[in-house]
Amino acid sequence: MAWTGKILRVNLSEGTLVAEELNREWADQYLGQRGLATKYLVEEIAPDCDPLGPDNKLILATGPLTGTMASTGGRYSVVTKGPLTGCVACSNSGGFMGNELKNAGWDMIIVEGRSPEPVYLYIENEHAELLPADEIWGTSVWRTDEWLHNRHQDPLLRIAAVGRPAEKGCLYAAIINDLHRAAGRSGVGAVMASKNLKAVAVRGTLGVGNLKDPKRFIEAVDAAKRVLANNAVTGQGLPTYGTQVLMNVINELGALPTDNAREVQFDGAHDISGEAMHEPRPNDGKPNLVRNAGCFGCTIACGRISTIDKGHFTVSHKPEYWGASGGLEYEAAWALGADTGVDDLDALTYANFLCNEDGMDPISLGATIAAAMELTACGALAPERTGGIEFRFGSAEALVKGAEWVARGEGFGLDLALGSKRLCEKYGHPELSMTVKGQEFPAYDPRGIQGMGLTYATSNRGACHLRSYTVASEVLGIPEKTDPLTTDGKPALVKAFQDATAAVDSSGLCVFTTFAWTLEDIAPQIDAACEGDWDVDKLLTVGERIWNMERDFNLRAGIGGDEDRLPERLIKEAAKTGPAKGLVNGLDKMLPEYYELRGWSADGVPRAETRARLGLS
């Protein structure tokens, strides 16, 4: 069955912890993780509730393949109503937390209410309790992790925690597990901190069995692992260069948002690229990259472990940052680098370490600092408002100070913690915010990759690349090459990616497998593990059902089709260089066709027949 069949419900207001039986009917309709947790959320909270109030809930959810021997089967998601957007939020993380939770016997944890005092949740298999967190409240994730390991004298304890920004209400605060894996987007960390919940510490030793057909599962998993190993992308490209190899690719294609998306190409792209991470530094002769790293059960291992030059100005007097830690992924390197115009790889790595240490989404942080830089450039922000530092494009000092201030929750960092949308509104220039539904868009300029414009505009959690990564098709040719400069065919492409991704995000597997796998590779693994008949068609229907459920929640929260739009810059200011020169994004051409393909009305509301077909009330 793969599901453990058990949910842990934690009411922080009452201090109660109750084991519940999983709703198996819902599991058959929504699979697990993103889909199933969102089903619980939309059934249990009022869509108009305050995201940072006690009525919101926070769900940590595994998928049915989490903790199994399936490759990449270590994922979990955090589902809640997001404070950055007001939309449904679902942030997915790897590392070793998801499998530990599953090994402790739980499909998901539902956290509700608000504790009167700071607490952490300790789980050892079926035993769960709330313990005081006074001593770690006000400390970073890294300090919290160390304290909990010492407190419980258990080096194998797996910990997910929030840092100081979350406690201070940073709207893009992340939940960090295993020191440098993040449920990063949409401010899920702020929700956790709003409940006075500092950390979740889990030890699971029960194993994950309960498979429908173990022999067939082993065969399906083995076959799928061979596909990953034999595929040039997942077998060689991602392990060697990680996602950061994209920096030069996207720059060459003229789709690298630079200087808060004023430009689409960055002169310093190479200096912050995956290739640069391999090159020896002038000062110590060592490269930035130490090694690659894999999450639980992963046979790809795209993660980066990096160091900073000890002589660099960011760490020369801070030996605590001289060790190796989670390095730059492409999205973080873009946001902290190209988008701010900073080409200093060590400064970016340091800012990324801070994001891991204290729990901040590097995409939103970098894009918000970039917005502050443009506010400065247009005269709306003077250095006296920004701690005496001039926030000019290209300033590594401004980037680093900004990251430090948000991490500590002090000075101008409190403004930066609002995110780009609220920052730009506060200083009188909302048009300078590169956001959709309040969330900063990531590392692909929709003028150079047209499908990503529709992806951002329609993402249910605000601008996001991972909801439908059409870059795979438009740039990388996976599963087949499409022209990034045209809108033709993109509505169907976006819908197909959205539905398939929603299913993968609900399985316990990593979406990066889909550079090699199709649902034809994934369905047999799920079908061998889970009760019910799980084929490709059913997974696509589940994915479409999840997408419409999320949409429905947003509609009921007051976020409708009029919010399916892009920043004016992307649809009015043409790209100045590269192959997209002269182009804006053609969202107006794509959106009506997309709504029609979805079975939605002209204003973006699922029609009655669409709801009926998908079994949505």
Partner 1 sequence: MKIKLKLFATLGRHLPPGARRNAITIEAADGSTLFDLLDRYGIDHEEAFMVVRNGVFMPPAQRPIEPLRDGDTLAIWPPVAGG
Cβ-based nearer residue to partner 1, 133 or 272 = 272
Binding map of partner 1 across residues 366-385, x = CB under 8 A, - = no contact? --------------------
* Alpha helices, H only, 45-159: 97-103, 141-152
Based on CB atoms, which residue is closest to partner 1, 183 or 238?
238
Cα angle vertex 112, ends 110, 116, to 5°? 135
Query: Residue 113 is encoded by which pair of tokens?
Result: 């209410």
Q: Which of 179, 245, 605, 616 binds partner 1 (CB under 8 A)?
A: 245
* Residue 576 or 611 with smaller CB distance to partner 1: 576
By CB under 8 A, the residues from 449 to 488 that bind partner 1 are 465-466, 469, 471-472, 475-478, 481, 483-484
Q: Which CB sits closer to partner 1, 254 or 606? A: 254
Q: x/- binding map, residues 401-440, to partner 1, per CB under 8 A?
A: ----------------------------------------
CA 33 to chain CA centroid, Å, is 14
- The interface region with partner 1, picked from 49-57, 59-67, 270-278, 431-439 by CB under 8 A, is 270-278
d(CA 546, CA 527): 19
Q: Which residue has the tokens 């030069």?
A: 248
297-to-63, 77, 114, 408 alpha-carbon distances in Å: 14, 17, 34, 35
Of residues 125, 248, 486, 601, which one binds partner 1 by CB under 8 A?
A: 248
Question: How many Å is the Cα radius of gyration of the chain?
Answer: 22
Is 341 or 484 the residue whose CB approaches partner 1 more closely? Answer: 484
Q: Which is nearer to partner 1, 226 or 270 (CB)?
A: 270
Considering only the C-alpha atoms of the chain, give the largest distance between any 2 of them, rounded to a whole number of Å. 67
Length of the chain: 617
**Distance in Å, CB of 82 to partner 1, minimum:** 21
**From the list 32, 254, 462, 567, which residue makes contact with partner 1 (rule: CB under 8 A)?**
254
> Nearer to partner 1 by C-beta: 95 or 411?
95
Instruction: Identify whether the C-beta of residue 587 lies closer than 8 Å to the C-beta of residue 565.
Output: yes
**Residue number, 110 or 510, with CB nearest to partner 1:** 510
Q: Which of 157, 246, 502, 523: binder of partner 1 (CB under 8 A)?
A: 246
Contact 110, 7 (CB under 8 A): yes
Q: Quick check: 128 and 11 in contact, CB under 8 A?
A: no
Nearest distance from residue 472's CB to partner 1, in Å?
A: 7
Compare residues 39 and 490 and give the one whose CB is closer to partner 1: 490
Cα 2 vs. chain centroid, distance in angstroms? 25
How far apart (Å, rounded) are the C-alpha atoms in residues 574 and 582?
A: 5
Within 563-592, which residues bind partner 1 (CB under 8 A)? 578-579
Member of 147, 217, 241, 391 binding partner 1 (CB under 8 A): 241
Q: How many chain residues are in contact with partner 1, going by CB under 8 A?
A: 42
497 binds partner 1 (CB under 8 A): no
Among 80, 243, 458, 554, binds partner 1 (CB under 8 A): 243
- Contact (Cβ atoms closer than 8 angstroms) between residue 592 and residue 600: no
> Minimum CB separation from partner 1 for residue 517, in Å?
12
Pairing of strands 108-112, 6-11: parallel
Contact region for partner 1 (CB under 8 A) — 145-153, 243-251, 285-293, 408-416?
243-251
- 232 vs 608, beta carbon nearer partner 1: 232
Are the C-beta atoms of residues 94 and 43 closer than 8 Å to each other? no
Q: Which of 356, 320, 333 is nearest to 140 (CA)?
A: 356
User: Can you state the angle between helices 536-556 and 490-504, rounded to 10 degrees?
Assistant: 100
Contact 60, 200 (CB under 8 A): yes
CA distances, 50 to each of 54, 90, 227, 583 (Å): 8, 17, 45, 40
CA neighbor of 302 nearest in space, from 324, 284, 325, 328: 328
Of 47, 184, 187, 274, the one binding partner 1 by CB under 8 A:
274
CB 83 → partner 1: shortest distance, Å? 25
Which residue stretch of 140-148, 173-181, 251-259, 343-351 sits at the interface with partner 1 (rule: CB under 8 A)?
A: 251-259
**Alpha-carbon gap, residue 440 to 86, rounded angstroms:** 14
Residue 362 touches partner 1, criterion: CB under 8 A: no
Strands of 133-272 (E only): list them.
Answer: 158-161, 175-177, 181-183, 197-203
The CA distance from 538 to 166, in Å, is: 38
Token pair listed for 177? 């597990």
CB of 541 vs partner 1, minimal distance in Å: 25
Q: Residue 182: beta bridge partners?
A: 176
Nearest distance from C-beta of residue 253 to partner 1, angstroms: 6
Minimum CB separation from partner 1 for residue 477, in Å? Answer: 7
Sign of the Cα pseudo-torsion (510, 511, 516, 517, in order): positive
Contacting partner 1 within 221-240 (CB under 8 A): 231-234, 236-238, 240
**Taking CB under 8 A as the rule, does residue 7 contact partner 1?**
no
Min dist. Cβ of residue 18 to partner 1 (A): 38
Q: Does 208 bind partner 1 (CB under 8 A)?
A: no
* 252 or 531: CB nearest partner 1: 252
- 351-355: which pairs have CB atoms within 8 A and are 24 or more residues apart? 351/399, 351/400, 351/403, 352/326, 352/327, 352/328, 353/308, 353/321, 353/325, 353/326, 354/403, 354/404, 354/407, 355/174, 355/182, 355/403
Q: How far is residue 314 from each of residues 274, 413, 500, measured CA to CA in Å? A: 21, 17, 42
Q: Which is nearer to partner 1, 474 or 564 (CB)?
A: 474
User: Between 336 and 423, whose beta carbon lies closer to partner 1?
Assistant: 336
Which is closer to partner 1, CB of 241 or CB of 595? 241
Torsions phi, psi for 339 (to 5 deg): -70, -25
Q: Rounded to 5 degrees, what angle do the CA atoms 125, 8, 60 make?
A: 95
What does the DSSP 8-state code read for residue 208?
A: -
Least spacing, CB of residue 279 vs partner 1, in Å: 10
Q: Does 253 bind partner 1 (CB under 8 A)?
A: yes
Nearest residue (CB) to partner 1, 88 versus 471: 471
Q: What mask, x for binding partner 1 by CB under 8 A, covers residues 504 to 523?
A: -------xx--x--------
Among 6, 226, 270, 589, binds partner 1 (CB under 8 A): 270
* Binding stretches for partner 1 (CB under 8 A): 231-234, 236-238, 240-246, 248-249, 252-254, 270-271, 274-275, 330-331, 465-466, 469, 471-472, 475-478, 481, 483-484, 511-512, 515, 578-579
